Amino acid sequence: MRASTHSSRPGQPRDRLARALEEAADQGRLAPSVHNTQPWTFVLFRDRMELRADRSRQLPVLDPNGRELFQSVGAALFNVRAALSARGFAVVVERLPGPADPDLLAVVRPVEGEPDPVLAVLARAIPRRHTNRRPFGPATVSDEIVDRLAEATAAEESLLVPVRSPGQRALVAALTQQADRLQNADRAYREELRQWTSRTPAQGDGVTASSVPLTTGVRTDAVPLRDFDTRGTGGLPARTGSGTDQTLVLIATAQDDPAAWLRSGEALERLLLELTRREWVAGPITQALEVPATRHRLSELTTPAHPQMLLRIGRAAPADGTPLRPRRTVVENTTRPAPSVQPPTPPSRRTPAESGPRPVSDGRGGTTWL
C-alpha cells in the first residue's frame, strides 16, 4: 500500500518554503535603518534568500565606510531569521560569503531541523517595534533585565555595555553633544539630512516630521537626539528629556570590520525586539559613533571592544510606523505582487509638491524653502 501523507503531495513543501521566504522578506522590510534608508534587497530563490546591500542608499557624509549600512542590513537579517523560525524552519546563515560579490551580505537557507524557539517568539514583536523619540517616563530598566538583554546581545556575537556610573554617563553626554555640534556645523551633513527628511510618500523612505521632536532653537537635552526637524515641523514634543538619568546602553564588538558591523545590526534588532516584547521603547542616538574623534573616546567605555551603537531605553507612548519602500523595489524574484504584511501607514502629510514652495523656519533660527 502506498503511504499518502499531506507533505508528499507534489509541490507542497516547496510551497510552504516559498511562502515562508516571501513572508520573511516582508518582516525584513520592517527593520530599523539609518535615516530609514532601507539599504537592502531581498532576493528570493527556491531554497534560500540572499540579502544584498543597496549601495546607492549609503549615506556618503554620515556613513562613508558603510558601517551603518551594514548594521541596517544586519537588523533586516535578524528579522528574516526570526520570521523563518516562526514559520517552523531551522535556518543556516552564511554571512559575507565572498569578496567577489561584496554587496552580497548574507545567504539564508531554511533547513530541516528544530526552529530556534527564542527567535520564533521575538518574531511576534517585529511589527510593533518602532524607533521612539518621545519624552520617556522616569522608569529605568532593572539590572536583572539588562543582564537578560546582555545574553541576547551575546547570542549575536556582540557585547552589551550598560552606561552606569555618573562618570560614564557624563562622558556619553559630552561626546554626543560634541559630535552633534560638529555634525550640524557641516553643511554637507545638513544637506544629506535635509534630503532624507524631504521624501515623497511614493518614495516610502526617509524620516518623517511626525516621528521627530520639534526643534525650537536652544537645545537643552544632555544626550541630544539627532535633530531631524529640518523644516521646523516636528510632530513630537520639543523636550525629549533625553538625560543622563535614563537607561543608556552601548553595543560593542570584538572586531571593527564589515562582519562585525553586520553582526552588531543583528544584535541591535534582537535587543530592540526583546525590549518591545517587554513593553519598553528605545531609540538609537548615534552621533558620537559617527565622528571618528568622539567614537575613539567612546571606546574608553567598551575597550578592548569597539563601540557600534548607543541606545536610550524607557517607557513612552507608542511611536507611529514609518514609511516603507514599495515591496517590488526591495524584493526580487517574488511570485507575490502584494505584500502579505501591510506596512504601517504613516500619518498623511502634505508633500512639497502638493503645497508649493513656502519659507519655513529651519529649526535653527534660519529659513528654508519647503
Ligand X SMILES: Cc1cc2nc3c(=O)[nH]c(=O)nc-3n(C[C@H](O)[C@H](O)[C@H](O)COP(=O)(O)O)c2cc1C
Length of the chain in terms of residues written: 370
Q: Could you tell me how many residues of this chain bind ligand X (CB under 6 A)?
A: 21
Please state, as a whole number, how many other Cβ atoms lie within 10 Å of the Cβ of residue 227.
20
Smallest separation (angstroms) from ligand X to the CB of 34: 4
Q: Which is nearer to ligand X, 113 or 326 (CB)?
A: 326
What's phi and psi for 264, nearest 5 deg?
A: -70, -30
27, 41, 58, 72: residue in contact with ligand X (rule CB under 6 A) = 72
Smallest separation (angstroms) from ligand X to the CB of 358: 25
Q: Which is nearer to ligand X, 147 or 279 (CB)?
A: 279
Structure-block grid coordinates of residue 325: 519602500
Stretch that binds ligand X, among 12-20, 33-41, 246-254, 354-362 (CB under 6 A): 33-41
81, 87, 226, 295: residue in contact with ligand X (rule CB under 6 A) = 226
Q: Which is nearer to ligand X, 22 or 227 (CB)?
A: 227
Q: Which is nearer to ligand X, 48 or 346 (CB)?
A: 346
| 285 lies in the binding site for ligand X (CB under 6 A) | yes
Task: Report the C-alpha gap between 290 and 91 in whole angstroms.
Answer: 33
Helix or strand (DSSP H, E) at 174: helix 166-184
158, 242, 246, 286: residue in contact with ligand X (rule CB under 6 A) = 286
Helices (H), 40-165: 67-86, 117-123, 143-154
28, 32, 232, 363: residue in contact with ligand X (rule CB under 6 A) = 32
Q: Which is nearer to ligand X, 71 or 158 (CB)?
A: 71
| 298 lies in the binding site for ligand X (CB under 6 A) | no
**Closest residue to ligand X using C-beta atoms:** 32
What's phi and psi for 54, nearest 5 deg?
A: -105, 95
| 276 lies in the binding site for ligand X (CB under 6 A) | no
| 59 lies in the binding site for ligand X (CB under 6 A) | no
Smallest separation (angstroms) from ligand X to the CB of 132: 8
| 275 lies in the binding site for ligand X (CB under 6 A) | no
| 236 lies in the binding site for ligand X (CB under 6 A) | no
Helix or strand (DSSP H, E) at 40: strand 40-44
22, 24, 33, 295: residue in contact with ligand X (rule CB under 6 A) = 33
Q: Print the binding letters for residues 119-138 with ligand X: x by CB under 6 A, - otherwise.
A: -----------xx-x-----
Annotate 309-366 with DSSP letters as a single string.
Answer: EEEEEE--SPPPP-----HHHHEES-S-SS-SSPPPPPPP---HHHH---EEE-SSSS
Please state, as a whole number, how many other Cβ atoms lie within 10 Å of the Cβ of residue 326.
13
| 75 lies in the binding site for ligand X (CB under 6 A) | yes
Task: Report the C-alpha gap between 315 and 336 in whole angstroms.
Answer: 38
| 322 lies in the binding site for ligand X (CB under 6 A) | yes
Q: Which is nearer to ligand X, 271 or 285 (CB)?
A: 285
Q: Which is nearer to ligand X, 20 or 75 (CB)?
A: 75
Q: Which is nearer to ligand X, 18 or 305 (CB)?
A: 305
Q: Number of C-alpha atoms within 13 angstroms, CB side, residue 1?
A: 3
Annotate 225-260 with DSSP letters as a single string.
Answer: PP---TTS---B-S-----TTSEEEEEEESS-SHHH
| 283 lies in the binding site for ligand X (CB under 6 A) | yes
- 221: Cβ–Cβ under 8 A, 6 or more apart, which residues? 239, 240, 241, 242, 243
| 39 lies in the binding site for ligand X (CB under 6 A) | no
Stretch that binds ligand X, among 68-76, 112-120, 174-182, 250-258 (CB under 6 A): 68-76
Residues within window 78-97 making contact with ligand X, judged by CB under 6 A: none
Residue 369 β-bridge partners: 359
Q: Burial-class residue 95 by CB neighbours within 10 Å (0-12, 13-18, 19+).
A: middle
Structure-block grid coordinates of residue 48: 534560500
What's the helix, strand, coil split of the chain in %, to 5?
40, 15, 45
What residue ranges bind ligand X (CB under 6 A)?
32-36, 68, 71-72, 75, 130-131, 133, 207, 225-226, 283-287, 322
